[in-house]
Amino acid sequence: MPQYRISEVAELIGVSDDTVRRWVDDERLPAEQDPSGRLVVEGSVLAEFARARATSARDPSGVERSARNRFVGLVTEVVSDKVMSQVELQCGSQRVVSLMSTEAVTELGLRPGVLAVAVVKSTAVVVEKPGGGR
């Protein structure tokens, strides 16, 4: 099972090293020492911790839908020509970019600062595993 150093945990969760150390000290996040004496967190433990702590903004649309991948965020940029537009949203720490008709952008009133929900329903999702033996 892969193990992650404190700095790697911090980067993956999006917090500081000190925050991760506090979680370990408070026994909220189990950690152990590796053979070189560094604190590490087991991958499966980190995965469960990340899932339990994950929060997303409430979907303000009130619409029930089958798509499970909804990202609530703020529109940060809209680049349009006569026919098509590129709309960028900041959804937590994730940047989501959508290409749509300029007519749709106008009808939805999308512009920087507007709250929006990106809904993704796809039959093809690519999952990659970084090199390095993890």
Over residues 97-133, the pLDDT tens digits come to 999 999 999 999 999 989 899 988 877 778 888 886 5
Is 62 a member of any domain?
no
Q: Residues near 97 by Cβ (< 8 Å), separated by ≥ 6?
A: 86, 87, 88, 89
Residue-number span of the structural domain to which 108 is assigned: 69-120
Percent of the chain exceeding pLDDT 90 equals: 55
Q: Residues near 76 by Cβ (< 8 Å), separated by ≥ 6?
A: 88, 89, 90, 95, 112
Is 76 a member of any domain?
yes
Is 60 a member of any domain?
no
Is 30 a member of any domain?
yes
Is 75 a member of any domain?
yes
Q: Looking at residue 30, which CATH number applies to its domain? A: 1.10.1660.10
Q: Looking at residue 103, which CATH number applies to its domain? A: 2.40.50.100
| pLDDT-flagged residues of the chain (< 70) | 56, 132-134
- Looking at residue 4, its pLDDT comes to 93
Is 133 a member of any domain?
no
